[in-house]
Amino acid sequence: MKKIPTSADILQRAVWKLIVFITLGFEIVIIGASGHQLYERVVINSQRIARKLVKTEIDSEFDWQHWRMNSNLDTENVYFLEVDNLRHAKPQRFYTENAKQLANKPPWHLFKSFWYSERFGILYRTITTKNGIRYVLWHRMYEQATILIRIIWVTLAAMILIMALSPLYVKRLAKRLTHPLTELTQGVQAASERGDDDGWQLAVPEQPAEIVSLTQNFNQLLKKLYNHQAEQQLFIMNAAHELRTPIAAIRSHVQLLERHGQGHPEIIPKSIRYIDSESRQMQDLVDSLLKLTRADVSSLTLSKISISQTVAELVEQMQPKIAQPLKSRIEPDCWAIANQDAIAQIIHNLIANAAKYSPADQPIQVTVEQQSNQIICRVIDEGPGILPQDLPHVFERFYRSAEVRSQIPGTGLGLAIAAQLSQLIQGKLTVHNHQPHGAVFELRLLQTLKKLQQTRR
């Protein structure tokens, strides 16, 4: 199986390639700049010598040596050839000693004004003509070539030294940069191997910022997973407990009928009614669990709907089903971005919850109004209210206070379903006590489309 490279391996290769590229680039630039500078000096010196020569008559070696001694130009590696085609019928040639050797064995032309001789090496040639006399200068580039070769060797040695030392630095740098990531990986692996439920968190490094942010986000994810798992376990325990109670009651009455049904037929109708009641309660619980499960996994389509019409129709449908009178105060033309079925289910659950705790002769108020850029729906009852210690847990699944658990029937899921649906439609469901008594459930919905259009205009 092919080994997957680590971050350190990838970083080392990338930095190594970068160092090699930069080092070669600098060497090429240094050699090119140095060679060009040496070339410019040769060209300038040759041109100066040529301008001086055309102003001087040189017909012998003595003239040439005398001119060199009196000239302030560098003529040490300059070889001179003069061809006179004007003053004599036959062209007269004058050579310096080395120039004559070049003439006897012509050098090889390299490019432009550069030539190569086996004896003299690289030469630069300059030709000047004046009054029928042609002056040819050969400038030997021995010193320039020597300097350039030294530069090449120095830069090459520096490049080799850098490439020899850079792997150690790159390895150390890669280890330093990837160490927090390695620790994070090891921490995640340790967390997966622990398999416990204690909400364990990863150690957050001090740097770099990306790993710090990644670790913090991962810790938040671990916390959410831990809380979600704890909620699931609690949910299963509560569901099992709520289902166990009616099942146990049904089984006890079945056993009662098996033992005493024939001898005491008068207990049969009572036991059947009790079994029917408990089975209905169990069916209600299963239906609520299904609704809650759908709310957990589903995503609702949001659109522009009339909250006024939806709530008004629901109030009309709910009135025959509850003992309390429903009083509504619904502002017309209240539109919001929501889901109609979800709104109907939320308000239905809130009204049903209020009906459980309100006296039969006390009204339940349902209001819909628009405030600023929000639509607010309220369900207000006249019941005993909610104890302060119970307020934070009202929307938890299966939560019911100890005072009402044995007195008022219910599954403890209606408000949890309403809260979950509120999140799916991006609303906010809250509760607070109503003075002097009762409770107020308040649903705040998103800004209306009508308001959005007016704001954009």
Q: What is the pLDDT of residues 219-276, one digit of tens each?
A: 888 777 777 666 666 666 666 656 676 777 788 878 878 887 777 787 888 888 878 8
pLDDT digits (tens, 9 = 90+) for 278-300: 777 677 667 766 666 665 555 67
390, 405 contact by CB (below 8 A):
no
Alpha-carbon dihedral angle through residues 88, 93, 94, 99, given to the nearest 10 degrees = 170
Q: Which residue has the higher pLDDT, 225 or 444?
A: 444
pLDDT band for position 80 (cuts 50, 70, 90): low
pLDDT band for position 404 (cuts 50, 70, 90): low
Sort strands 78-84 and 92-95 into parallel, antiparallel or unpaired. antiparallel
pLDDT digits (tens, 9 = 90+) for 102-124: 777 878 888 888 888 888 888 88
Average per-residue pLDDT for the chain: 78
Alpha helices in 195-261 (DSSP H): 209-260
Q: Which residue has the tokens 């790159």?
A: 170
Q: Which pLDDT does position 278 carry in this prediction?
A: 72
Q: Which residue has the higher pLDDT, 358 or 173?
A: 358
> Does 159 score more than 50 pLDDT?
yes
Instruction: Tell me: cis bond preceding 436? Omega within 30 of 0 counts.
Output: yes
> Does 4 score more than 80 pLDDT?
no
Q: Which pLDDT does position 161 carry in this prediction?
A: 86
Q: Which residue has the higher pLDDT, 86 or 65?
A: 65
Q: Distance between CA atoms of 351 and 378, rounded to whole angstroms?
A: 10
Helix or strand holding residue 370 (H, E) = strand 364-371
Report if pTM > 0.85: no
Mean pLDDT of 161-177: 78
Q: Distance between CA atoms of 308 and 266, rounded to whole angstroms?
A: 53
C-alpha dihedral sign at 303, 308, 312, 315: positive
HSE-CB for 322 with a 13 A CA cutoff: 28
Q: Which pLDDT does position 454 carry in this prediction?
A: 41
pLDDT digits (tens, 9 = 90+) for 343-353: 998 999 899 88
Range among 187-201, 230-244, 380-394 rated most confident: 380-394
Residue 194 CB partners (closer than 8 Å, separation 6+): 200
Mean pLDDT of 38-44: 85
> Does 319 score more than 80 pLDDT?
yes
pLDDT digits (tens, 9 = 90+) for 122-156: 888 888 887 777 778 888 888 888 888 888 888 88
pLDDT digits (tens, 9 = 90+) for 423-433: 888 899 999 99
Q: Which residue has the higher pLDDT, 331 or 7?
A: 331
Q: Which pLDDT does position 439 carry in this prediction?
A: 92
Range among 51-60, 205-214, 223-232, 391-400 rated most confident: 391-400
pLDDT digits (tens, 9 = 90+) for 16-29: 788 888 888 888 88
> Does 453 score more than 60 pLDDT?
no
Alpha helices in 54-141 (DSSP H): 61-70, 97-104
pLDDT band for position 406 (cuts 50, 70, 90): low
Percent of the chain with pLDDT strictly greater than 90: 12
Q: Which residue has the higher pLDDT, 330 or 159?
A: 330
> Does 330 score more than 90 pLDDT?
yes
pLDDT digits (tens, 9 = 90+) for 408-422: 666 677 888 888 888
Which amino acid would we find at residue 388?
A: P
424, 342 contact by CB (below 8 A):
yes
Q: Which pLDDT does position 156 carry in this prediction?
A: 86
Q: Which residue has the tokens 């001087």?
A: 56
